[in-house]
Amino acid sequence: MKTSFARFVVATCASLALALVLCPTSLLAQAAAPAKEAPAAKKAAPAKPTPAEQAAQREQFLKRIADKVDVRLDVPYAGNDNPRQQLDIYLPKNADTKKPLPVVVFIHGGGWSGGDRKGYMAPASQLAAGGNYAAISVGYRMSSEVKWPNQIYDCKAAIRWIRAHAKELNIDPDRIGATGGSAGGHLVTMLGLTAGNKELEGDVGQDTAQSSEVTCVVNFCGPSDMAAPLMQGDAAKVDDPAVAGLVGGSLTEKADAVKQASPLTWVSSKAVPIMTVHGTKDMRVNFTNAEKLEAALKKAGATHYLVPVTNAGHGIPIGPELAGRIQKFWDLYLRDQKAEIETTAITP
Q: By C-alpha distance, which of 93, 91, 119 is closest to 106?
A: 119
- pLDDT per residue rounded down to tens, the chain (348 residues): 444 444 434 333 333 333 322 333 334 444 444 444 444 455 565 678 888 988 899 899 999 999 999 999 999 999 999 999 999 999 999 998 899 999 999 999 999 999 999 999 988 998 999 999 999 999 999 999 999 999 999 999 999 999 999 999 999 999 999 999 999 999 999 999 999 999 999 999 999 999 999 999 999 999 999 999 999 999 999 999 999 999 999 999 999 999 999 999 999 999 999 999 999 999 999 999 999 999 999 999 999 999 999 999 998 887 899 989 999 999 999 999 999 999 999 998
Q: Class assignment of domain 2-16+68-335?
A: alpha beta
Is the distance from CB of 68 to CB of 93 less than 8 angstroms? Answer: yes
- The pLDDT value recorded for residue 43 is 57
Is the distance from CB of 183 to CB of 109 less than 8 angstroms? Answer: yes
Q: Is the N-terminal amide bond of 49 cis, ω within 30° of 0?
A: no
Coil, helix or strand at residue 16: coil
Question: How far is the C-alpha of 210 from the C-alpha of 195, rounded, in Å?
Answer: 11
Is the distance from CB of 230 to CB of 223 less than 8 angstroms? Answer: yes
- The pLDDT value recorded for residue 46 is 66
Q: Write the CB contacts of 4 (distance below 8 Å, at least 6 apart in sequence).
A: 126, 127, 129, 130
Q: By C-alpha distance, which of 215, 216, 90, 203 is closest to 157?
A: 203
Is the distance from CB of 160 to CB of 170 less than 8 angstroms? Answer: no
Question: How far is the C-alpha of 274 from the C-alpha of 268, rounded, in Å?
Answer: 12
Question: How far is the C-alpha of 200 from the C-alpha of 266, rounded, in Å?
Answer: 11
Burial class (CB in 10 A: 0-12, 13-18, 19+), 319: middle
Structure pTM? 0.88
Question: What would you report as the CA-atom Rg of the chain, rounded to the nearest whole angstrom?
Answer: 19
- The pLDDT value recorded for residue 32 is 43
What stretches of the chain show up as alpha helix (H) in DSSP?
A: 2-13, 25-32, 51-65, 121-129, 150-164, 166-169, 183-193, 198-201, 241-247, 255-261, 288-300, 320-335
Is the distance from CB of 332 to CB of 338 less than 8 angstroms? Answer: yes
- The pLDDT value recorded for residue 296 is 98
